Structure 1
């Protein structure tokens, strides 16, 4: 069996693994690359393999870095089935539609800019129609139920505790009368997290393909980070600021609601017991309803709360913002508040508006509670950026920036090693994926030291046959992924283009002075203008600048 790596190879996003046997071909996951414009461009590249020959996709969970290119797959000719748990299917129904909407909106925005330069329109990566079509191919199977996917491949999902519906995918492949088990971890859940049970134990596997996101870090215990978040909230509210929590709409948002409910139920918010909490993400709102439909998959503590009549995802002061008008109104409300909004890495969604309205405020706090990929706006803020670009404007970073990685849905180093340590029959070889270089190298060293198991770290496009002593048997003809430097450059705030000199543009001196004055006034008014008014004015400024530059070049 040949195993090829088209994502999450020496990087964290874009999970996509191609399994080819003599009789059938399947994918495990088909995720989107994330981490700024450079990674976005990789998503647009055609799949390197023949999509029409893929019989099925096994989907470990619904997160976009694992499912986000499924609509593109069908757009390029895939017609097989997509096998996942019922909860994963339910979440993909909202998440892929939401992703398609984002693709269409970003393409429209880019097209408007192109039209000003008489350049061709930008096509979205995929459309709502593509998302609707791919959802028709989903097939649900239960946890702990071995199910045939093709004539010689079966799958069994074991709860991985990472998010609602997530599972370790045990792939059973029969070749020459022998069955071999390949276990794909997907994302391994963190331990002692709200809502979800801990990852289930794996019994055995011939080969293990293991994620490595936090392969070089340890998380704090629950009470430590629960106290840390509470302290940040109280300190910020007492300064009169807002607490902004960029959060993945599915999973992390619900965990944040669980924690705030805990604070309120135990009278821990002191004078801010009635603080308003806004969930500003239509996707998160829909996902919360799906969580409630699947409470039977929750952990023992959550079930105990429900038995007492306490819904941990509902409390006094919780407000959902469904419409654009609701979202805009939040930033006109001067009362200190908590805002939970997507996307978790700040590369898209309403969170960018809330960052624009709060990053410059010294009394506000931005609290990251999930992994921030290289090249993402979230990573830039964690790395100490002093200014960032949002909606065409340079925004100063004066707010306090916090990172509570213990809320991550990913296991830390101990959790990852525990996956191996608790197996009755450990794998012959382990392949490490879904991690940055430092994490991969550290985890490989720890596995070698503790278990003496051969560990491989494949590169993007590598082809492996794990049954061989020399496992790497080839490489697909694919472009290398962007480097860290290229990702950082693509996400960095572009320097303003110089306006054509007034001495070279006959008759336009007054216009240039007016443009400079308008830029200054817009900057001064940014606190009171609506988002749409501010952005529209900046668009007009850009158009006028472009016209003047073209005249200067004639």
Structure 2
């Protein structure tokens, strides 16, 4: 029995891990590779295994860097079921179809240019129809219910607290009378995050596969983050313009809406008109509103006393294109939450074009901004940005709120690992090299753990997991 690491190795995206036990093969996650065009081209590469030979796929959560290549598995012959939490099923239906739509639009745009040049036309990475066919393969599994995935492989999902439906997967394996337990962390949530419960602790494992996105740093305390948010809203109100909030459609948007709901009077939000200008974020918010059993105790108590977490008296849901365009006629007093979260697509770019050159406008950056994105340029203090070939002067005040991450920080990762008995070995994935190496060093120093940052294609023998290869 062994596990091979085929993604999110020395990088964050493309999570994909192949488990082989007694001739059975199960894949954990099948995510998109995201980043530069050079990196994203690898999404078109064939898999290094035969998808038709897989017994099943286990999906930790809906984010595309974990789920976004599932339609390609089906295209290449996968016949099995995709086992995941019911909330992940609901979110993935939205996110995969949206990804298929964007793939189709990207191929259409490229082919217009290629036709003029007489070049061979390109096909979408996958289509909306392929995304819908993938959703039909989902098999929901609740937290805490053991599932016989294949002979010798039993999976139990536990709440990871990262986004709605996210799971830590405990895998109980048996081959020729030998038994092992492997725990796959997926993405672990930020302790104290609004709406969702904290990551569920586990105590037994022979090997832990852990994410390390923030393995080298700690987040700002929540109290300081809410104080900062209040100051930004106050400053923006005094300036007299609009406040733009680029936000990821899943989890970040819902976190912001709940924060607005629970601090409504304190932050003076009654003075604004608030717009959620993202069809995907609106759909995801409806999914969050349905799965109330997954809320933490504070959110559940708030809902019992006050009603829906995301219902604001001055919130406008802008689903149609015409609704979005109408927002741009507003010169003052609008809070606009829109995607994409890194300002590289979606409706937020139109709002930036109409506002970012105004001195009275404010921009609240609520999430990680990758290098090379428009959002990162704003964070880095760019005086000008490019939108549809036009250079736009940046005169708006840009605020970066760093405490809203949905990922556990270094302290949170170490706290979760500390629940395991006997310091089991750790295979570290899902992090940039600096974060991975710092986290490996802390695991070794604090717990005496055998820990190692995995490389692409590396295989660990689960009967004798030997880690601690010297890092180069």
The TM tier, using the shorter chain, reads over 0.9
Equivalent in the alignment of 2:174: 174
Give me the whole-angstrom Cα distance separating, in 2, the residues matched to 1:433 and 1:235: 40
SS in 1 for 2:326: helix
Give me the whole-angstrom Cα distance separating, in 1, the residues matched to 2:461 and 2:353: 49
Displacement after TM superposition at 1:164 (Å): 0.6
Displacement after TM superposition at 1:230 (Å): 1.5
Q: Does 1:52 find its partner at 2:52?
A: yes
Cα distance, 1:97–1:105 mapped onto 2, change above 3 Å? same
What is the 5 A alignment of 1:19-58?
19-58=19-58
Cα distance, 1:469–1:157 mapped onto 2, change above 3 Å? closer
Equivalent in the alignment of 2:397: 400
> Larger helix proportion, structure 1 or 2?
1
Equivalent in the alignment of 1:269: 267
TM-score of the two chains, using structure 2 as the length reference: 0.94
Of 30-39 and 73-82, more deviation after overlay is shown by 30-39
Equivalent in the alignment of 2:437: 441
Displacement after TM superposition at 1:134 (Å): 0.7
Instruction: Decide whether the 8 Å contact of 2:427 with 2:467 is kept in 1.
Output: no
Cα distance, 1:159–1:62 mapped onto 2, change above 3 Å? same
Equivalent in the alignment of 2:301: 304
Instruction: Decide whether the 8 Å contact of 1:465 with 1:471 is kept in 2.
Output: no
What is the total number of aligned residue pairs between the two structures?
A: 469
Residue 314 of structure 2 is aligned with which of 302, 317, 321? 317
Q: Does 1:189 find its partner at 2:157?
A: no
Higher Cα radius of gyration: 1
Instruction: Decide whether the 8 Å contact of 2:207 with 2:465 is kept in 1.
Output: no
Structure 1 residue ranges without an equivalent (≥5): 474-554
Equivalent in the alignment of 1:477: none
Give me the whole-angstrom Cα distance separating, in 2, the residues matched to 1:164 and 1:100: 22
Give me the whole-angstrom Cα distance separating, in 2, the residues matched to 1:384 and 1:466: 48
Instruction: Decide whether the 8 Å contact of 2:249 with 2:280 is kept in 1.
Output: yes
Equivalent in the alignment of 2:427: 431
SS in 1 for 2:183: strand
Instruction: Decide whether the 8 Å contact of 2:451 with 2:468 is kept in 1.
Output: no
What is the 5 A alignment of 1:385-424?
385-424=382-421
Of 334-343 and 60-69, more deviation after overlay is shown by 334-343
Give me the whole-angstrom Cα distance separating, in 1, the residues matched to 2:238 and 2:257: 21
Q: Does 1:453 find its partner at 2:444?
A: no
Q: Does 1:134 find its partner at 2:129?
A: no
Instruction: Decide whether the 8 Å contact of 2:15 with 2:66 is kept in 1.
Output: yes
TM-score of the two chains, using structure 1 as the length reference: 0.81
Give me the whole-angstrom Cα distance separating, in 2, the residues matched to 1:8 and 1:347: 22
Structure 2 residue ranges without an equivalent (≥5): none
Q: Does 1:295 find its partner at 2:283?
A: no
Equivalent in the alignment of 1:504: none
Equivalent in the alignment of 2:16: 16
Q: Does 1:102 find its partner at 2:82?
A: no
Cα RMSD after superposing both structures: 2.0
Instruction: Decide whether the 8 Å contact of 2:452 with 2:468 is kept in 1.
Output: no
Instruction: Decide whether the 8 Å contact of 1:7 with 1:13 is kept in 2.
Output: yes
Equivalent in the alignment of 1:330: 327
Equivalent in the alignment of 1:84: 84
